[in-house]
Every structure is written in C-alpha cells, then in structure tokens.
Amino acid sequence: MNRVPTIATAATLSAIGGLHVAWGRGSTVPFPSREELNDTVIGRPATPSPTACYAVAVLLLAAGGLVAGLPKPQSLIRRTGVIVVASTLAARAALGFTGRTDLIAAGSVSERFRTMDRRLFAPLCAALSIGAFASLTTGARSSRSPHRAE
C-alpha cells in the first residue's frame, strides 16, 4: 500500500491553507510586495480581506484533514467530503486551463495571473484532485487489518 500520494496531497492542501493564514495576517510571502502577490495569485489589484483569506484557509485545512483520513477513513462524511474536495479542485483546474478562472473569482484577469494559472495553479489543482480521489482507495486499503487471515 502506497500512502505517499495521500500524504503529499493532504500536506500540500494544509500548507496552502497555512499560506492563506499568513496572507490574512498581512504577509506577502513568497512575494516581495502586496502588488506582486495580488497580480500573481489574485489577478487583480484588490487585496482580499483577512476574513476571506481565513475562510479559504479553513476550507483548505479541512480538505487536507479529509484527504488525510479524518474523521475516519471509511466514514460517509469523510468520503463525501473528499469527493466534494476532489470535484472542486478538478473544476478549478478546468477553469484555469481554459483561462476562465474569472467565472469563480471575478476580476482575476491580469496577464501574469492567467499565465501562472495555466502553468502552475491549474496543474496543481488537477494533481491535488487526483490525489484526493486516490485517497479514497488508500483509505479503504488502510482500514483493513494487515494481519487478517487469507
């Protein structure tokens, strides 16, 4: 059983959640300025409110927990949550690849954002979607006892 994709997906979702907490607190990491962060990550000059950053952070951290196997690997709530997470990430990837992220994030139209969206954000969302879906089968295998009789 290979849990590496599940762990990597959960850790990445959680790390991105942590980044949103930092942005909500006023950090611009990994960018040198608010303007560069906004242009690259948001696609417009307006900065989201701390509340908006924290809301996204909570969703990403919850997604990371679901992918990791919480509350219980085979619980209906976890499986449903992972399907929602994976489907949302797949839809976000599709919008990014087609240059239509502005349909869900109004005003996200800067050229730098669209370039980064196609090169980094959309592929990352696609990979996270696949990892989230894969965690459903990893969770199923990991819930079985490795010592059961054959």
Q: Give per-residue pLDDT as tens, 20-57.
A: 999 999 999 999 999 999 999 999 999 999 999 999 99
Report the percent of the chain where pLDDT is more than 90. Answer: 87
Helices (H), 38-75: 50-68
Is residue 44 within 8 A of residue 107, CB to CB? The reply is: yes
Residue 34: name the closest of 20, 21, 23 by CA: 23
Output the pLDDT for position 35.
97
Please report which confidence band the pLDDT of residue 141 belongs to, taking 50, 70 and 90 as the band edges: very low
Separation CA 37–CA 79 (nearest Å) = 34
Helices (H), 25-148: 34-37, 50-68, 76-97, 111-116, 122-142
The pTM score is 0.89
- Residue 41: count of CB within 10 angstroms of its CB: 20
